[in-house]
Amino acid sequence: MASIKKICIITNFRCASTAFNLLKAEEYGVPYKGELFSHEKTFDIGNTDKFKKFSGTRTNENFYAELKNNESVECCFKIMPVHTQYDVDFLIDIAKATDKVYYLYRRDFLSQLTSYIAIRAYGNAQKTGFRTNVGFNQREERARQLVLGTLGEEKTYELEMSLKDRELNGLHGNIGVKMLRRQLIRNYEVMAEAYKIFPGELICKEDYFTEEKYKPYNRKVTWNEDPNFEDFDVEGLFI
């Protein structure tokens, strides 16, 4: 059987996707590449390191070409449909250029939504309640420390949210609750469409991350009133 050197994780935000990405990169013995197709382009593959960083020459098409045509590329990355502007055909093309494809979703949509709101509106992605002793330039090691908790805990990070907060009413980068909810759902809809056309291994966050694989963040995020969000049946899209 051919070796697996290119791994694609099609997923959504707040699905423990960074933890999954780190663990799978370690399992297959390939480099961790995070959100390879995001607008930030924080990692390179193949010859893309020759392009000027954060310029128009480092495009999704460049990265896709390296995946498809460069046999020496080794990587484990995650991609959200929004990274392809919800283009399901391009998403499938990217998946086909790899050796292994996972579809990672989260069953508990309301918890996922609360987590996504906390991250996007309040800008606290780095506040996991875990210790770190490296800077932003050591991205993989920092991710291991802040996501997997490899250095242990520090003081618990606490956040209490209110629907009246300016951050949730379009006053912080034009971010609003309805927009964030819709983005999660749209990502899932395109994920499900891709899964039906080009199936891979379907993984539920709650089932995969048992105690031995996952250490929950050392933080407490709550609402000071019931936000009364409408739930969404994620699993029904796939099963």
- CA nearest 14: which of 214, 205, 224, 223? 205
What pLDDT is stored for residue 49 in this prediction? 73
Q: Which two tokens stand for residue 82?
A: 């929004």
pLDDT digits (tens, 9 = 90+) for 129-170: 999 999 988 999 999 999 999 999 999 999 999 988 888 876
Q: Which two tokens stand for residue 77?
A: 């990355």
Alpha carbon separation from 150 to 75, 119, 235 (Å, rounded): 22, 21, 31
| CATH tag, 6-238 | 3.40.50
3 state DSSP class of 169: strand
Which residue intervals of 73-108 are DSSP H helices?
88-96
pTM of the model: 0.93
- CA nearest 71: which of 50, 48, 46, 95? 46
Q: Where are the domains of the chain?
A: 6-238
Positions in the chain short of pLDDT 70: 1-2, 50-57, 170-174
